[in-house]
Amino acid sequence: MIIPVIKMVLVVEDDININQVVCEYLKDAGFGVVSHTDGLCAKEFLESGVKIDLCVLDIMLPGLSGLELLKIIRHSEHLAQVPVMMLTALSDEQTQIASFDDLADDYVTKPFSPKIMVKRVQALLRRTGTAGGFLHLGDLVIDLERYTVTDQGEAIKLTLKEFELLKTLVVNRKKVLSRPQLLDLVWGYAYFGDDRIVDAHIKNLRRKLKSDLIQTVKGVGYRADEQV
């Protein structure tokens, strides 16, 4: 079985309640999370060489401030390109300008909506090209950057349209997509052929995949979901 590849977020926030809320919302969104409550511990962690995909930093931290951590990140050979979001109660213009001058990627002031914060994290990862290129469903792993698929640890060879169809179903997991919807999403609005081409590609996918993940909803369409 393949261990899912997930994006790791470092959260450095000294307010325990805020730290826990941020971490829980990020975990619910599918991120791996490492949290610290003081700047010195966060510095030690960052210098350990552990791979991090994004940092969320409070500014007013014990030991070492978030702005000092930001400078460390930007001057680090292996961390310099990691996106950084400042999450702080400091809303004055001078502090915000200082953060962006030190190459912060985003600045969120407290109080904030945890749901919106997660959306901003996701958008930031997309903008910086690190939104990650893996989709997972059960033992199925789709590498969006390399256009490869593995199922139960075995490489699955798919045509481009089969890949796009599978990706579309997994992105919309548990949601039933009709044949016309799949035609629009995979083949494009310019396609005017028979919608039975969807059935043919679904049949091929089922034949190639080892897991029974594609379900037919009679009279409606198809959905991807894990086996119950």
CATH of the domain at 171: 1.10.10.10
Go through the chain and tell me how many residues it has: 228
Yes or no: say if 140 and 129 are a contact pair by the CB < 8 Å rule.
no
Helices (H) and strands (E) in the chain, counts: 8, 12
Chain segment 32-63, per-residue pLDDT in tens: 888 999 999 999 989 887 778 899 999 999 99
112 and 184 both lie in a single domain:
no
pLDDT reported for residue 49: 77
39 and 145 both lie in a single domain:
no
107 and 191 both lie in a single domain:
no
**Cα distance between the two ends of the chain:** 18
Whether residue 165 is predicted with pLDDT greater than 80 in this model: the reply is yes
Yes or no: say if 22 and 12 are a contact pair by the CB < 8 Å rule.
no
**29: in domain:** yes
DSSP run (H or E) holding 150: strand 148-151
CATH code where residue 75 lies: 3.40.50.2300
**209: in domain:** yes
Q: Which domain-ending residue is among 84, 106, 127?
A: 127
Q: Percent of the chain having pLDDT more than 90?
A: 49
109 and 218 both lie in a single domain:
no
pLDDT reported for residue 191: 57
**149: in domain:** yes
The CA distances from residue 9 to 38, 58, 78, in Å, are 16, 14, 15
92 and 142 both lie in a single domain:
no
Which domain does 74 fall in, by range? 8-127
Residue 96: both structure tokens together: 């915000």
pLDDT reported for residue 180: 86
**3: in domain:** no
**1: in domain:** no
154 and 204 both lie in a single domain:
yes
15 and 108 both lie in a single domain:
yes
Q: Which domain-ending residue is among 127, 144, 175?
A: 127
* 7: confidence class by pLDDT, cuts 50, 70, 90: confident
117 and 140 both lie in a single domain:
no
What number of CA atoms fall less than 13 Å from residue 72's CA on the CB side? 18
Choice between 193 and 71, residue whose per-residue pLDDT is larger: 71
Domain count, the chain: 2
Chain segment 171-202, per-residue pLDDT in tens: 778 889 998 888 888 887 555 667 789 999 99
pLDDT reported for residue 133: 61
**196: in domain:** yes
Q: Residue holding tokens 């083949």?
A: 187
Write b or e for each residue in 93-115: b if 16 or more Cβ atoms lie within 10 A of its Cβ, otherwise e. Answer: eebbebbeebebbbbeeeebebe
**142: in domain:** yes
Choice between 3 and 51, residue whose per-residue pLDDT is larger: 51
**2: in domain:** no
Q: Which domain-ending residue is among 81, 103, 127?
A: 127
117 and 215 both lie in a single domain:
no
180 and 157 both lie in a single domain:
yes
Whether residue 27 is predicted with pLDDT greater than 70 in this model: the reply is yes
Yes or no: say if 57 and 68 are a contact pair by the CB < 8 Å rule.
no
176 and 121 both lie in a single domain:
no
24 and 109 both lie in a single domain:
yes
Residue 212: both structure tokens together: 């029974």
Q: Which residues pair with 222 in a beta bridge?
A: 177, 216
- Give the Cα separation of 86 and 56 in Å (integer): 6
Yes or no: say if 76 and 22 are a contact pair by the CB < 8 Å rule.
no
Average pLDDT, the chain: 86
